[in-house]
Structure 1
C-alpha cells in the first residue's frame, strides 16, 4: 500500500492539463472501512493538501455525523476522488475531474482495501463511474433510489454550499437519506 500511495503522490499523467500543476490529494489505509469517492479537489484543498478541507468538507462531516478526527482517520475513511488534482476553473465552477485518474488508480487502491463495508459515491461523476447502467437518468433519481445500491454503495449529492437550492427542493434527502447514512457510518465504525 505504501508503494501505491507514493506512486499516486508522484503521478503526473495529466500535468499538461492542470492549471496549478499536479498535487494529488487523497488518503487510504489497508484498514479503511468506508470509502468516500468524490469529484476532485478545489483550490483550497489543492493549497492545503488535505482532502475535503473546505466548506463542502465541513458539510460532509456534518452529514456523516463524525468529527474531524474521525473523518481524517484513514483506518476509518479512505478518501479517493475521481480526479486527484485540481482540474481548473470552468464557466460555472470547477471543471470536471480529469478522466485519467480513476482508471489509472482506483482499482489498485480498492484492491488493497479489504475491510471496506461501504462506498459513498458523491456526485454524478462517481455515481456514473461506479454504478454504470444501474445509475438513474439524474443524480436526484439515483440518490432517491439509494436503497437499491445498499449495502455496497450509498449515493449522495455534492455537499457544496452551491447545492443549497437542490437541498431545499429535495427535503426527502435530509429526512430519509441522512439518517440512513449516519446509522450506517455509526454502525460500521462502532461509534
Structure 2
C-alpha cells in the first residue's frame, strides 16, 4: 500500500471591509480550522475589484458571538459604514451581500421578520454563546457567512451568520449578527 495523501482542506466565506486600511469582519466559523477550535493555517482574502488576493492576519476572534476580525495590508479600500441595528423594524427591507457557492458578488433582498432571535447554533463552538440574531427571509447560502446585511441606505446592520437549513440549503430564514454586537467586538 502506497503513502496516504490527505487532501488540502478549503472553505470559502464572505467578509465586510470596515476600514480603508484593511480591517475586515467575518464569522469565526469562516476562519476556523477543521475541528472549529482553532484558526485555519492560512486565510486568503480575494477582493472583487481586480481579483487581487491577500494573506490575512487574524486580529481577534470570538467564538461566543461567531465573529472574527482580519487585517490585510492594503490602503484606500472601499468600506461599509455602520448603521444602527437597534432601530430596525419588523417588515423593514434589507439586502444580504456575499459570495455564495463561490459566485461573484451576489445580493438578495428580504424583510426583517424577527429581532433578538436565539437558535442555539453558537453553542457548537462556545460554552458561553451569545445570540441575538436579526432574522430575515433574504436568501443566504453556503459562502454567504461573514457577508453584509445592509439596510436600504447601504449601511451595515449585520453580519450574515446562519441559515435554517433542514435540507442543507436555504429554506426561507437567515440569521445575522446585529451591528451593535459587531461594533463592540
Shorter-chain TM-score bucket reads under 0.3
Give the TM-score normalised by structure 2.
0.27
Greater share of residues in helix: 1
Give the TM-score normalised by structure 1.
0.27
Greater share of residues in strand: 2
